[in-house]
Amino acid sequence: MTHEPSQPPASAATDDHVLAAWLAEEAGRRLLEVREEGLVDRELKDAGDAAAHELLVALLAEHRPHDAVLSEEGKDDKVRLTSQRVWIIDPLDGTREFSEPPREDWAVHVALWERGAGAGAGAGAGGEGDLVAGAVAQPALGETFTTGAPPVVPLSTSESVRIAVSRSRPPQFVHGLARELDAQLVAMGSAGVKVLSVARDVTDAYVHAGGQYEWDSAAPVAVARAAGLFTSRIDGTPLRYNQDDVYLPDLVVCRPELADRILAWISDNDVR
Ligand SMILES: Nc1ncnc2c1ncn2[C@@H]1O[C@H](COP(=O)(O)O)[C@@H](OP(=O)(O)O)[C@H]1O
Ligand SMILES: [Mg+2]
């Protein structure tokens, strides 16, 4: 049976944080259903990507009809480059892990970028605009992380630094960085899950290079910033969203006290 979307909370009519969280949860519920349909491998991945994308696009058209949408699974409509507000969504991040039940390391990303936001406002400044709301649902964990009620990052419970890395394509340089920080590498799927692992005190930093797109990091970075975590490109410059080219290949998200050491090591070691 296909999940029928409920109505969003009344406050979602005017509160983008609430709408983002509701959208991510609705898509998450849909994805949990798709996972029960008996599909495997590529068919399961494709069905999940398509179902979550179609649901999110339909719900955004209904609830925010004037806003543009940039989705991993949709055509890149360049109208977004002149739009005031752009939803940047990854309907299913960690598609590989989604297709490996009962793994929990996959997510739904829903972010909102707004023109004029963040100008001159420090590390998060995006020039033309910036992220203003976001939610990351981790449906198999039953958790949604949102800018509306940002996670409170606990003090680190670990004696040593833990660095989240991709399961399938960790950047080569993280081994050197781990030696420098005397850190352990913690492999997991999904960019959103890795960013939120820092907020949840599962890790202390997420460092990635070598390829990614705006939708992989927009919503997680919005939530991480709201939670007080440090976010930047690996050269220390701000992560910029709603660019003409949506390739955004690298990032650092970490506890603020680790940022200087991580960026200094990366700079000294000519990492790309
Ligand atoms: N080198 C690379 N080039 C392009 N995309 C990459 C990448 N490394 C990771 N990603 C994307 O980042 C997300 C997290 O990947 P990983 O779990 O390996 O860290 C995945 O998103 P999707 O699952 O939405 O495709 C993946 O496609
Ligand atoms: Mg992704």
For the stretch 13-47, pLDDT in tens is 999 999 999 999 999 999 999 999 999 999 999 99
**pLDDT number for residue 219:** 99
Query: Does the Cβ of 171 fall within 6 Å of ligand 1?
Result: no
Q: Looking at the domain assignment, is residue 41 inside a domain?
A: yes
Assembly ipTM: 0.98
What pairing do the DSSP bridges indicate for beta strands 162-166 and 205-208? Answer: parallel
- Ligand 1 atom closest to the Cα of residue 106 is 23
On whether residue 176 sits in a domain, the answer given is yes
- Is there a single domain that holds both residue 135 and residue 168? no
pTM value is 0.96
Do 128 and 173 lie in one domain? The reply is: no
Residue 154 lies in a domain: no
CA-92 nearest atom, ligand 1: 24
- Residue 153 lies inside a defined structural domain of this protein: no
Task: Determine whether 20 is exposed, middle or buried from the number of CB atoms within 10 Å of its CB (0-12, 13-18, 19+).
Answer: buried
Residue 69 sits in a domain whose CATH number is: 3.30.540.10
Q: Which stretches of the chain score pLDDT less than 50?
A: 121-126
Q: Do 173 and 220 lie in a common domain?
A: yes
- How much is the pLDDT for 42? 98
Contact 46 CB / ligand 1 (< 6 Å):
no
Distance 159 CA to ligand 2 centre (A): 31
Domain that holds residue 23: 10-146
Asked whether residue 38 falls in the same domain as residue 130, the answer is yes
Backbone angles phi, psi at 155, to 5 degrees: -60, 145
Task: Enumerate the H helices of the chain as residue ranges.
Answer: 16-34, 41-63, 95-98, 174-181, 191-199, 214-226, 259-268
Q: How far is the C-alpha of 126 from the C-alpha of 241, rounded, in Å?
A: 7
In a domain, 91, yes or no: yes
User: Do 102 and 197 lie in a common domain?
Assistant: no
Which of 44, 73, 93 most suits a substitution to test ligand 1, by most atoms within 8 Å of the C-beta? 93
